[in-house]
Structure 1
Amino acid sequence: MSNDATLAFTVSDMTCGHCAKTITNAVLASYPSAKIDIDLASKRVSIANAGDRAAVASVIEAEGYSPADA
């Protein structure tokens, strides 16, 4: 499922550029047309053109991170 809504998560255990890249790659693997914006300083991940919130959160969780609604 794809939509135009932007999903926002706070990922408190995202601590470095490697973490950001891992999350980006995982989301793009499931949602190739997703637009991802990561602000490492605020630990915020914004994703447009992806699935529903629960499905995207599951993708991030599968990489070992803990996304929370932002």
Structure 2
Amino acid sequence: MVQKVYDVKGMTCDPCVQAVSSELNGLPGVEDVQVDLSSGKVTVTSQQALDPADVAAAVDEADYELAGGEAR
């Protein structure tokens, strides 16, 4: 299992969390998505490392923005 944390800009409410979670859960190999609304951090657990472009595209599809890729 691989766990990565990403910064997502623009989330302000529970429907935001649901939209981002739904899109990321649709990526192949994703096992779990946890969103911390107050910090904008999204933790994605997957079977293998995800392509950063796929993560960015999923977040964009939910109408939010990945802030610089993986959080530090």
For the superposition of Structure 1 and Structure 2, which TM-score range results when normalised by the shorter chain? 0.7 to 0.9
The two structures have a TM-score, normalised by structure 1, of 0.78
Identify if the C-alpha distance between structure 1 residues 8 and 33 changes in structure 2 by more than 3 Å, giving closer, same or farther: closer
Residue 14 of structure 1 and its aligned partner are, at CA, apart by 0.8
Is the 1:13–1:65 contact (alpha carbons within 8 Å) kept by the matching residues of 2?
A: yes
Q: Which runs of 5+ in 1 are unaligned?
A: none
Structure 1 residue 29: Cα displacement: 2.1
Q: TM-score, normalised by structure 2?
A: 0.77
Please list every run of at least 4 consecutive aligned residues from structure 1 whose deviation after the TM superposition is greater than 4 angstroms: none
| Kept in 1: contact 2:33–2:42 (CA 8 A) | yes
Q: Give unmatched runs, 5+ long, in structure 2.
A: none
Partner of 2:55: 56
With over 3 angstroms needed to count, the CA separation of the structure-2 counterparts of 1:59 and 1:28, relative to structure 1, is same
Give the one of 22, 39, 42 matched to 2:39: 42
**Most deviating of 52-61 and 12-21:** 52-61
Q: Which amino acid aligns with 1:39?
A: D
Shift in CA distance, 59/6, structure 1 to aligned 2, threshold 3 Å? same
Query: How many equivalent pairs are there?
Result: 67
Aligned-pair CA distance for 1:31: 3.3
The alignment-based identity, stated in percent, is 24
